[in-house]
Amino acid sequence: MANQLDGFKFEQRHGKDRVRVTRVWRSYADGNHYMVEWNVSISLLSDCLNAYDRDDNSDIVATDTMKNTVYVKAKECSEPHSAENFAILLAKHFTSFYKQVTTAIIKIVEKPWERVSIDGQLHTHGFKLGSEKHTTEVIVEKSGSLQLTSGIKGLSVLKTTKSGFEGFIRDKYTVLPETRERMLATEVTASWRYSYKSVSSVPQNPLYFAEKYLDVKKVLTSTFFGHPKEGVYSASVQSTLFHIAKAVLNRFPEISSVELKMPNIHFLPVNISNKNDTIVKFNDDVYLPTDEPHGSIEATLSRFWSKM
Ligand SMILES: O=c1[nH]c(=O)c2[nH]c(=O)[nH]c2[nH]1
């Protein structure tokens, strides 16, 4: 929202970043405890220009109040909620409770606490930390219009074969050999946009998007790895990325676009020799793991027409 201020174009927003909250739901009918740990960031677009140019704070929602609201709303959630549903609930609150607030942008990163299993039995109240994180970003306007994206970050995946890279440009700067046999490793960051356009059109089940997240993650990983025995050949990170993005859009009609960031994390062949001898000769067995530099491969795949 751009405004005129003293003859200049002015855009502003304010909020509270990194509000940490854990919510536990005890004594459920199934005897299990449920818990989430969220890192919530709030940003509000609101009519509070007088705070900037007149030292008048009467239209300011204090960021301390925003922080408190996270805890109040967490308390009010009487049953487990997905990060998306909680973000929508918060955004709806800010845009409807304050006449000044026109748009609320809520981001949540969920820590991957997973129920432990002891001797094959799921624990009722024991959790351990996993690796990849579930993320969401929700933008709600006063009218109820909605933009909803979910995502995953830190999903590290690797396969020891069924990957190659051939046929690329060769010139006087090129030394990389062509290969049909290499390791493929990446740390996937993905975000996908749902086509729900208003808060009223979102499925009511408060765990709906938590289940979707797991479904998308399954499609993502199974496309990366292929069949458990045969695998699937990857001609490049680019090709694998595109297959993943296409699989997500083909499988989920309610998703309108998917953005993938897949750094190519290199495992370098180890060859060591001195003047006389080869001490280590690479035979697809000993590698030097690296984290930098890494290739950076990113793309977004979208439908031309949303199905909803
Ligand atoms: O899958 C790959 N894509 C590239 O663009 C690239 N560039 C490179 O040096 N190795 C690779 N591998």
pLDDT in tens, 118-144: 999 999 999 999 999 999 999 999 999
Those residues with Cβ within 8 angstroms of residue 41's Cβ, 6 or more apart along the chain or in another chain: 15, 16, 17, 18, 19, 106, 107, 108
Answer yes or no: is 264 a known binding residue: yes
Would you give the end-to-end CA distance of the chain in angstroms?
27
Count the Cβ atoms, other than its own, within 10 Å of residue 112.
Answer: 15
Indicate the top mutation candidate among 165, 182, 233 to test ligand 1's pocket, ranked by most ligand atoms within 8 A of CB: 165
Q: Consult the annotation and say whether 291 binds a ligand.
A: no
| Separation of alpha carbons 27 and 240, rounded Å | 44
Beta bridge partners of 267: 289
Catalytic residue among 33, 63, 161, 243: 63
Q: Which protein residues touch ligand 1 with a CB less than 6 Å away?
A: 165, 176, 236-238, 264, 295
| Residue 237 CA, ligand 1 centroid: distance in Å | 7
* DSSP at 176: P
64 known member of a binding site: yes
161 is a catalytic site residue? no
pLDDT of residue 306: 54
* Among 168, 175, 182, residue to substitute to test ligand 1 (most atoms within 8 Å of Cβ): 168
pLDDT, position 139: 98
Q: Catalytic pick from 16, 92, 133, 212?
A: 16
pTM higher than 0.90: yes
Mind listing the pLDDT tens digit of every residue in the chain (308 residues)?
789 999 999 999 999 999 999 999 997 778 999 999 999 999 999 999 999 999 999 999 999 999 999 999 999 999 999 999 999 999 999 999 999 999 999 999 999 999 999 999 999 999 999 999 999 999 999 999 999 999 999 999 999 999 999 999 999 999 999 999 999 999 999 999 999 999 999 999 999 999 999 999 999 999 999 999 999 999 999 999 999 999 999 999 999 999 999 999 999 999 999 999 999 999 999 999 999 999 999 999 999 975 55
User: Do the annotations mark residue 237 as ligand-binding?
Assistant: yes
Q: Tell me the one-letter amino acid at 105.
A: I
Mutation test of ligand 1: which of 236, 244, 261 has the most ligand atoms closer than 8 Å to its C-beta? Answer: 236
pLDDT at residue 266, rounded to an integer: 98
Q: Token pair 């062509």 is at which residue?
A: 178
Q: Which domains does the chain have, with CATH numbers?
A: 11-144 (3.10.270.10), 151-307 (3.10.270.10)
Q: Is 223 flagged in the annotation as binding?
A: no
- Facing residues of 42 across strands? 16, 106
16 has catalytic annotation: yes
- Note the pLDDT tens digit of each residue in 183-213: 999 999 999 999 999 999 999 999 999 999 9
Give the angle 188-81-145 at the CA atoms, nearest 5°. Answer: 80
C-alpha to C-alpha distance for 257 and 303, rounded to whole angstroms: 6
- Ligand 1: atom nearest CA of 237 is 1
Bridge partners of 265? none
Per-residue pLDDT at 1: 72
* Residue 135 appears among annotated catalytic residues: no
Give the distance (Å) from ligand 1 centre to CA of residue 295: 7
How distant is the alpha carbon of residue 39 from its chain centre? Answer: 13
Atom index in ligand 1 nearest the CA of residue 266 equals: 10
Angstrom distance (rounded) from CA 207 to CA 200: 16
Contact present, 179 and 186 (Cβ < 8 Å): no
Helix (H) or strand (E) holding 46: strand 34-46
- CA separation for the pair 154, 150 (Å, rounded): 14
Compute the distance from residue 129 Cα to the ligand 1 centre, in Å.
32
User: Do 50 and 92 touch, CB atoms closer than 8 A?
Assistant: no
Query: Structure tokens of 307?
Result: 């199905």
